[in-house]
Amino acid sequence: MPGSAAISCLGPWPKDVGIIAMELYFPAQYVDQAELEQFDGVPSGKYTVGLGQARMGFCSDCEDINSLCLTVVQRLMERNSLSYDSVGRLEVGTETIIDKSKSVKTVIMQLFEDSGNTDVEGIDTTNACYGGTAALFNAVNWVESSSWDGRYALVVAGDIAVYATGSARPTGGAGAVAMLVGPNAPLAFERGLRGTHMQHAYDFYKPDLVSEYPVVDGKLSIECYLSALDRCYSVYRNKIHAQWQREGSERRFSLEDFGFLVFHSPYCKLVQKSLARLMLNDFLSHPNPNTETGPYTGLDAFRDVQPEETYFDRDVEKAFMKASADLFERKTKASLLISNQNGNMYTPSVYGCLASLIAQHTPSQIAGQRIGVFSYGSGFAATLYSLRVTQDHTPGSGLDKLVSSLSDLKVRLDSRKKVSPAVFSENMKLREETHHLASYVPRGSVEDLFPGTWYLTRVDDKHRREYARRPQDHDLPAEPQLVRSSTATEHIPSPAKKMPRIPAATACPEAAVSN
């Protein structure tokens, strides 16, 4: 792995800290959005064209946030041949809360028991869909700090997005992403290039602690998202301009300076509108745009519009979506595979988009590119930052391994089981009725899960949750290993078995100083 290579001891921080490996999990069943339109009695195209959604993954009652995160972490560790004692920080970003005190991270720690590694920092981070990004920033900051001990950081973003019956329900979904963070990464964070905007608003929130369903102000939510995008892009541009000026360059930053752009995706059509929104920002900030030829042709009538007055201006939206159509095809469309086929995953959403982008390009096509990433969480918190893809795309390189590991996304999506809207609706009703029950045994079929998936086996009378893992296809039939989200007093874990240490980087105290 790239992070296990020797790092430079000459600088004040490890070099090229970022994402080394990624793993993505989504449910093994989905509902077709066109069929859901018919079932809900809405006009044809409302979900498929208006929202840009084709399929929506969902979980039965035998999956919860703990099982999703257990699955994606174990899959990442196994597929990358990592030992659990090579991880020194584990942080979870989620808004799917099933316990107001006990973190999902502590549940995942059961995977670490056989390694004997309990020296793992980090807990859960929560703020709507932004929690995964906050957890990722914390992991990067840890690697670049005096606290770093040379091991990897592991970031997990996971959620089950469900809505009450109504217009918001087709914007649901479910899934989890795990990201391995360390130095010498094929996707490195560009230092100092983050634009953040945080503000108070009740656009989407979950005040009912016994329900999975949020309270949503749809119009306000869109306004908050787009206003945050405006502010973050402005701050990001100012920071990169300042960097360029220090280097002696006076050139202006524009969308063309991003090789690719990925966005938090509640639904695909909003992402397309968001790219158009950034083009509007470029147009309004340009001192003398050419409206006779080129991408701004025919846009002169919009020269004096005020951005804050255009969130729902159909003329502006239509004009800039048309003007940015080529940009969208080249820089963003490929990122919407998971969003279109699985739906909104909340915290993993933007990272599902990043994985989709990587999965549909060759290493040589993305090598050296700058990837812009916009993350948004209601309430609200947002950041636009950038990743720089390594230039090394040779066979066996870190980038080659990352692309290869994600290349099966389309096959995995196509291997899922389609269920009828009626069955989907029944599952949602069952989840609603059993969400926080004690003494409950799930009714969902384990055979419908992907091989290797963790699932909920029971909730006892003290709300303690127990899990098992469906065997891999190549595993011999065996009694599944059981784990609990809270170690009961009568449960004595097996003696820890030490595994050989695989450090994330060669020890280098000089490189781990605080910046």
Q: Which residues are catalytic?
A: 95, 129, 264
Sign (positive or negative) of CA dihedral 302, 252, 372, 124: negative
Tell me the two tokens of residue 270.
Answer: 């909003």
- Asked if residue 221 belongs to a known ligand binding site, the reply is yes
67 is in an annotated binding site: no
> What is the rounded CA–CA span in Å between residue 478 and residue 471?
8
177, 358 contact by CB (below 8 A): no
Tokens in use for 407?
Answer: 């290349």
Q: What is the DSSP pairing of strand 18-25 with strand 173-182?
A: antiparallel
Beta bridge partners of 102: none
Tokens of 361: 């390009």
447 burial (CB, 10 Å; 0-12 / 13-18 / 19+) is: exposed
Query: Is 269 annotated as a binding-site member?
Result: yes
The closest of 416, 325, 322 to 54, measured between CA atoms, is: 416
CA distance 350 to 371: 12
- Beta bridge partner(s), residue 30: 57, 418
Cα 304 vs. chain centroid, distance in angstroms?
A: 36
Place of tokens 């560790």: 77
Neighbours of 241 (CB within 10 A): 15
E-strand ranges in 132-238 read 152-161, 173-182, 187-198, 204-205, 215-216
Question: Among residues 422, 409, 417, 421, which one has the least CA distance to residue 177?
Answer: 409
Counting beta carbons within 10 angstroms of the beta carbon of residue 21, is it exposed (0 to 12), middle (13 to 18) or buried (19 or more)?
Answer: buried
CA distance 424 to 428: 6
- The answer to whether residues 222 and 46 touch, using CB atoms and an 8 Å cutoff, is no
Neighbours of 230 (CB within 10 A): 20
Q: Which of 397, 355, 350, 10 is nearest to 184 (CA)?
A: 397
Please report, in range form, the residues annotated as the binding site for CoA: 221, 269, 273
